Structure 1
Amino acid sequence: MKKFVCQVMKPALFTAVLVLPATGCGDHEESSLTNTAAISNDPETLLEDMEEVTSAQAVMEGENLYAGVTVTQWSRLRLDSIRKKGHSLLKKHYPEKTVHFSTDYKVWLELHAFKEELQKKSLSAKKRKKRLTGIEDHMKG
């Protein structure tokens, strides 16, 4: 009996322990990829997927898309290339929009505050347009 366990059962258990967990991994990865693809239309999610970006804020108003990001400290040395990369990424996914993109922290803060006010619905159309024009001026500045 001891010989049977050593010769047949140990290799069978060893194989089962190695093979069974690996067979369940394939289906799980496929479902997580489809969930990621469904969310990727959001401009903030697109920008946060960039490795240099730590946080993103984006507002779509009419035919304009305003976006601001914060970047990692080390990435601040390459702000020009990050601006080009972020702008082209948004333009690729939203070709019908006029994209306004910035890596300036002040723009990120303004967009964050603007989004909070929009959620509270405390802005009229005229004030919304004025705030976005001010944010756009900061982006050019």
Structure 2
Amino acid sequence: MILTCLCVIITGLVACGQRDQVRPMMVGHDAVADQTNADQAKQVIASMEEVVDVKGVSLEDKIYVAPQVRHRSRFNLEGIRKEGFERIKKRHPDATVYFSTDKKIYMELEKLEQQLQKRTISKGRLKKRLGELEELMKG
């Protein structure tokens, strides 16, 4: 009985210390617009401890990224935004980076990722939607 309780407690403590690996959706270069830059940016952001999931889309020299942040990390959103932006900019210095922790932006990028993967959006429509997101992300 004591051994069973001890095993349960140890298993619980070990499980709490482990972090699930974030695996963002990789759209790739077969989409309507090449998503290699967005996929690379998502991998960089997925490695951040505070991030649960990340969505992102790229078009031409612009990269749009929105992570979903752990609940306990929400008090440090400004720091997460700054660090995430810097990580992407370091990897893609010539790109214009838009980085937001806003849930609405996350959901919109998720829709665009799915449309790109299914090839149900035109390049013109993608450009228009990203322009609208740019305005939201600027403030």
Q: Tell whether the structures are fold-level matches, with TM greater than 0.5.
A: yes
The one of 68, 84, 89 aligned to 2:87? 89
Q: Output the CA distance in 1 between the equivalents of 2:135 and 2:110.
A: 16
Which letter maps to 2:51? V
Q: Output the CA distance in 2 between the equivalents of 1:127 and 1:58.
A: 16
Q: Output the CA distance in 1 between the equivalents of 2:58 and 2:85.
A: 14
> 1:43 Cα shift?
1.3
Aligned position for 2:31: none
Q: Per the alignment, in what secondary structure is the counterpart of residue 122 of structure 1?
A: coil
Counterparts of 1:27-46 in structure 2, within 5 Å, are 42-46=40-44
Aligned position for 1:117: 115
1:79 aligns with 2:77: yes
Q: Output the CA distance in 1 between the equivalents of 2:93 and 2:65.
A: 15
1:68 aligns with 2:69: no
Counterparts of 1:14-53 in structure 2, within 5 Å, are 42-53=40-51
Q: Output the CA distance in 1 between the equivalents of 2:87 and 2:73.
A: 17
**Structure 1 residue ranges (4+ consecutive) displaced by more than 3 angstroms after TM superposition:** none
**Greater relative CO (CA pairs within 8 A, separation 6+):** 2
Q: Output the CA distance in 1 between the equivalents of 2:48 and 2:119.
A: 31
Aligned position for 1:99: 97
Q: Output the CA distance in 2 between the equivalents of 1:124 and 1:45.
A: 25
Q: Output the CA distance in 1 between the equivalents of 2:118 and 2:69.
A: 28
CA-to-partner distance for each residue in 1:45-70, whole Å, 9 max, x for gaps?
11010011111111111000000011
Unaligned runs of 5+ in 1: 1-40
Q: Output the CA distance in 2 between the equivalents of 1:115 and 1:90.
A: 18
Q: Output the CA distance in 2 between the equivalents of 1:84 and 1:90.
A: 10
Which letter maps to 2:136? H
Q: Give the TM-score of the pair, scaled to structure 1.
A: 0.68
The one of 126, 129, 132 aligned to 1:128? 126
Q: How many residues align?
A: 101
Unaligned runs of 5+ in 2: 1-38
Which letter maps to 2:68? T
The structure that has the greater radius of gyration is 1
